[in-house]
Amino acid sequence: MKSMQTREATPVSINIRAKARQRDMIDQAAERLGRSRSDFMLEAACRAAEDILLDQAFFTVDDGTFAQFQALLDQPLPPTDKLRQLIKTKAPWEK
């Protein structure tokens, strides 16, 4: 049986079918980043998979910890210059 390190380091193939239009768009984006199609697709797929897994993570805490967490959520942050600046700053996708 292979060790975990050996298993993680061994490359494996992942095959998918795509429409020519999809492949061309992926190639164009990968080229703009100076990446190969495979690197681009693998990074994008892993990022999406990680987001999904993290979004579905379930945490359990005792009643006291949950009460503290709720109390923090119920308390608004005090107004500061840094907070005002943050609120006025456009998100990167809005620029």
* pLDDT the model gives residue 70: 94
Residue 82 domain boundaries: 4-94
- What number is the average pLDDT over the span 65-72? 94
Q: How many helices (H) and strands (E) does the chain have?
A: 5, 0
Tokens read off for 70? 């709720």
> What's the pTM?
0.55
Q: What is the pLDDT of residues 9-63, one digit of tens each?
A: 889 999 999 999 999 999 999 999 999 999 999 999 999 999 999 888 888 999 9
Q: Give the end-to-end CA distance of the chain in Å, rounded to a whole number.
A: 52
* pLDDT the model gives residue 62: 95
* pLDDT the model gives residue 3: 63
CA atoms in the 13 A half-sphere facing the CB of 21: 0
Domain total for the chain? Answer: 1
Angle value at C-alpha 3, between 46 and 52, nearest 5 degrees = 20
Instruction: Say whether pLDDT at 1 is over 70.
Output: no
* pLDDT the model gives residue 78: 87
Distance of alpha carbon 73 from alpha carbon 66, whole angstroms: 11
